[in-house]
Structure 1
Amino acid sequence: MVGQLRIIGGEWRGRRFPVTHASGLRPTADRNRETLFNWLQGDVEGRQVLDLFAGTGALGLEALSRGAAGAVFVEKSRPVAKSLQALVQRLEAGSRAEIVMADARRYLQTVPRPFDVVFLDPPFGTGLLPEVVAPLQRGGWLAPEASVYVESGLEEDLRSPGDDWLCRREKTAGGVCYRLFQVAG
């Protein structure tokens, strides 16, 4: 275990948890998460959330802490998924959290269900964002007027990842660009 994850707000506010070391694992910084959830305001409570490249689960856990009805965490690394499962159990969030150990692209080939909020934060420089945006758009994964958060490196310009995605908010910090889109619907 290296580093820590801190929940910023909600039910588990201020709680800290160890983070498993894994290649390419880059948890969303506290400041970026705080900004994101300020942007989302009332868009999380009672909603269904998909954390597609879950890693530490920071985004999905923050959503659950702030009242999301449920969250699906998709993570392809077995050790990271196991660590996330242990954390979900420790928080007693098992009834609202589902951990799926799978590659994000493969997960999007399964039977879709609509999500109100989707977090897309893949490892930078992998080219995965365009590969998951298309199936998200056409596959029934997005509820009407869903919010989609996209975090990428500055070199990965995704100003308009989807045909009907409107950029609500945008910010850069260091080498990270993060945007919140609203899907027209």
Structure 2
Amino acid sequence: MSLTEEELTRLADIVRLQPTKNSELQDAWGLDSGSEVHSYLESHLKEYYYRDDDSLIRATGEAAGLVDVEPGIESEGGPDDTPSVIRVPELEARVFDVVAGPEERSESVVSVLHKLRETFEMDPEADEVRRALRSLERKNVVETIYRTVPTFRLAVDRDAVDVEVSE
């Protein structure tokens, strides 16, 4: 099924905003009601979205592949790829809070793990922290500096990005 420009734009909104609700899409699309959103989804994008266990709207993997948008990222469309808002799981939000800033010396996964333990009294596995750092790197808010081991630091000023915790 080939999608129109409007359908692709609205599909990109779903990918970007997910997990989302009818009311958020209503606002984004300028529609009058959640019923209109539901009707549009069912008649135009039925193959590309689903509702999760909490009835939140999510894009299918195929949908994410059709649009050039990272899930959970809002961007101002500026010259660089720095997002203005990212929606991430709690661990990624906490990693963003503690990882070295853009002007600081980059740090290892283990260093970030120790900061998480000290600051938030959480105890994730090192692999979970590594995955969180790599995910933030794909969102263009963390960069990798290769030394003896890969090290990480923010690629943006901490206050340049609003971090929202998704469920």
TM-score range, shorter chain: under 0.3
Q: Structure 1 or 2: larger strand share?
A: 1
Pair member with larger Rg: 2
Larger relative contact order (Cα-Cα within 8 Å, sequence gap ≥ 6): 2
Q: Structure 1 or 2: larger helix share?
A: 2
